[in-house]
Amino acid sequence: MSTFLDPRHLIDTFGLVGVMAVLFAECGLLVGFFLPGDSLLFTTGLLAAGGLVAPLWVLVVLLPVAAVAGNLVGWWIGHRAGPAVFDRPGSRLFRPQHVERARRFFERHGARTVFLARFVPVVRTFATVMAGVARMDFRRFALLSVVGGVVWAAGVTVLGYWLGHVAVVRDHVELFVLGVVAVSLVPVAVEALRTRRRTA
């Protein structure tokens, strides 16, 4: 990871405002897909435990706000720019049928996708925009974004606050978060297998 993207460097240089800006960009702006959201949240919590940044309660309030705001802007970008991008004639990648496919996907799995995508780097950026492109109901999207934003931003920050001294967690933040998501998907997978067996 370059020095600029190093979480500690970002926090030392830009402070809490910088952390919020990174979360906003990663959660809503397509150019922010490369930003280190998980490790930044974890490191912020770790530094809060040492009194080097804002108190934990301030972080738990403000960081989810930045993440949710990014989501809402990302939905708006997809909603507004999607038709113009996907209606380009002759494009192999951006086609109207892709929008229709995305719309059907979000109709069937929208809630699960918006919530769980929050915990997966890169995916959380593009899923937000695609929800707007697919015309997912804004109120539903906003509610899921609030729930996911609070659980993700506050949860990973608190994780850093309490477990930052554990080396195996500190050195593998992204893997740890993905592991939690994988465990949460077990009931979904079991139900899918049961449904397939019943319909077979």
- Residue 74 tokens read as 């990302």
Q: What is the percent of the chain where pLDDT is above 70? A: 66
What are the C-alpha distances in Å from 56 to residues 41, 48, 176? 11, 6, 21
Give the HSE-up count for residue 57: Cα atoms under 13 Å, Cβ half-sphere: 0
pLDDT digits (tens, 9 = 90+) for 166-182: 777 666 666 766 665 56
In angstroms, the CA 141 to CA 129 distance is 11
**Rounded distance between C-alpha atoms, residue 178 and residue 169, angstroms:** 12
| Rounded CA separation 162/146 (Å) | 23
Residues 27-41: tens digit of each pLDDT:
888 777 677 788 889
Task: Calculate mean pLDDT across residues 6-11.
Answer: 80
The pLDDT of 12-26, averaged and rounded, is 91
Question: Is residue 52 pLDDT above 90, yes or no?
Answer: no
Per-residue pLDDT, 73: 94
pLDDT in tens, 104-121: 666 666 677 788 778 877
Nearest residue to 60 (alpha-carbon basis) of 184, 165, 160: 160
For residues 125-144, give the mean pLDDT.
86
Task: Select the highest-mean-pLDDT range: 66-70, 79-83, 100-104, 167-171.
Answer: 66-70
Q: In the Cβ-directed half-sphere of 37, how many Cα atoms lie within 13 Å?
A: 32
- pTM for the model stands at 0.76
